[in-house]
């Protein structure tokens, strides 16, 4: 299990730029976690086990190609066995399911990631259910979702929500006993994050409110948060007047918006109006450089954990 480190480490896990709010850097925290993972990977290799991650890419969606490339590069840099499988966009669903079944049976593969979205003729739910729960390092299999929701047994949490929890812990903002408001109820972020925060023990024990598109007077709810996590999918929608002074703000959003004044004609921003909110919040994540880098780090962490569980299973 990843350790949160002492509270005094918070200053070393943040960007030192001088602003009114503490800047919580996903890049810095992610590297701290990867240093821990390198030790665990070395221990596994000493036992003859190299954690293996297989990524399956169907078609040639440019964004998906970029994401898969980043994941494989990160795995290789960490010394993992990385296998990328590129499939034609018109692949038969049965053939894709057979490919996943083969990875399930491969003892050298400990984590399987099928990059979404898939072509319209493929049932995404069926594909995700075909991945064995013990290798579902994305945390999307119904068994992992159910175990997370009920806080029972071994499971893998989706990487972005798990990364948010690690960011809070490692920057000195333990959510235990705090009122956490999560804006967004998606199955990718909002729902699993709420489940993680409600669990007993490390990273949990929070009081959680989940907001969504039908929430009335959203600002009144967000202003009540000790910790505000925003995953609403709308650029710069959370403004300074919606944040309680001193609150911790975690911005999950990443958007490319047109900006004629920018060199490339666009700029990247989050769901939070950073330049305003940083002057009100006690701590805040930037976008980019905040939650994004944590997602791949937690994918690596889940893969290493899967390899450790497999080794323990062989011993027993």
Catalytic-role residue among 22, 135, 138, 178 = 138
Catalytic-role residue among 115, 136, 178, 271 = 115
Catalytic-role residue among 22, 71, 226, 271 = 71
> Which tokens is 264 given?
């490339």
Residue 288: cis peptide before it, omega within 30 degrees of 0: yes
Would you call 65 a catalytic residue per the annotation?
Answer: no
Would you call 178 a catalytic residue per the annotation?
Answer: no
For residues 154 and 200, the answer to whether their CB atoms sit within 8 Å is: no
At residue 96, the 3 state secondary structure works out as helix
Would you call 22 a catalytic residue per the annotation?
Answer: no
CA distances (Å), 273 to each of 95, 229, 245, 270, in order?
Answer: 45, 13, 15, 7
Of all helices (H) and strands (E), which one includes residue 209? strand 207-211
Pairing of strands 81-87, 179-183: unpaired
Backbone conformation region of residue 139, classed left if phi is above 0, alpha if psi is from -120 to 50, else beta: left
CA distances (Å), 255 to each of 237, 250, 272, 288, 296, in order?
Answer: 12, 15, 11, 9, 18
Distance CA(44)–CA(127), nearest Å, equals: 29
Residues identified as active-site: 71, 115, 138
């Amino acid at each position: 299990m990843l350790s949160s480190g002492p509270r005094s480490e918070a200053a070393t896990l943040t960007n030192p730029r001088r602003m009114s709010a503490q800047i919580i850097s996903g890049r810095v925290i992610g590297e701290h976690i990867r240093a821990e993972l390198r030790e665990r990977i070395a221990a596994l290799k000493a036992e003859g086990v190299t954690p293996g991650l297989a990524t399956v890419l169907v078609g040639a969606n440019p964004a998906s190609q970029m994401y898969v490339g980043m994941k494989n590069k990160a795995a290789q840099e960490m010394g993992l066995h990385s296998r990328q499988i590129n499939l034609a966009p018109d692949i038969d669903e049965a053939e894709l399911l057979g490919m996943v079944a083969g990875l399930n049976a491969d003892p050298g593969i400990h984590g399987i990631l099928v990059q979404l979205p898939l072509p319209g003729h493929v049932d995404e739910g069926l594909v995700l259910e075909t991945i064995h729960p013990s290798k579902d390092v994305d945390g999307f299999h119904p068994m992992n979702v159910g175990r997370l929701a009920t806080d029972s047994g071994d499971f893998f949490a989706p990487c972005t929500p798990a990364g948010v929890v690690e960011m809070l812990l490692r920057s000195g903002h333990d959510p235990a006993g705090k009122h956490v408001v999560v804006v967004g109820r998606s199955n990718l972020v909002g729902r699993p994050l709420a489940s993680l925060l409600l669990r007993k023990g490390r990273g949990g024990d929070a009081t959680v409110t989940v907001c969504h598109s039908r929430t009335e007077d959203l600002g009144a709810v967000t202003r009540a948060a000790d910790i505000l996590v925003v995953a609403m999918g709308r650029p710069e929608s959370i403004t300074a007047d919606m944040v309680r002074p001193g609150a911790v703000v975690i911005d999950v959003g990443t958007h490319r918006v047109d900006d004629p004044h920018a060199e490339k004609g666009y700029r990247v921003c989050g769901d939070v109006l950073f330049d305003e909110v940083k002057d009100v919040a006690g701590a805040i994540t930037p976008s980019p450089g905040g939650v994004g880098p944590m997602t791949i780090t937690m994918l690596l962490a889940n893969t290493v954990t899967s390899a450790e569980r497999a080794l323990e299973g062989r011993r027993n």
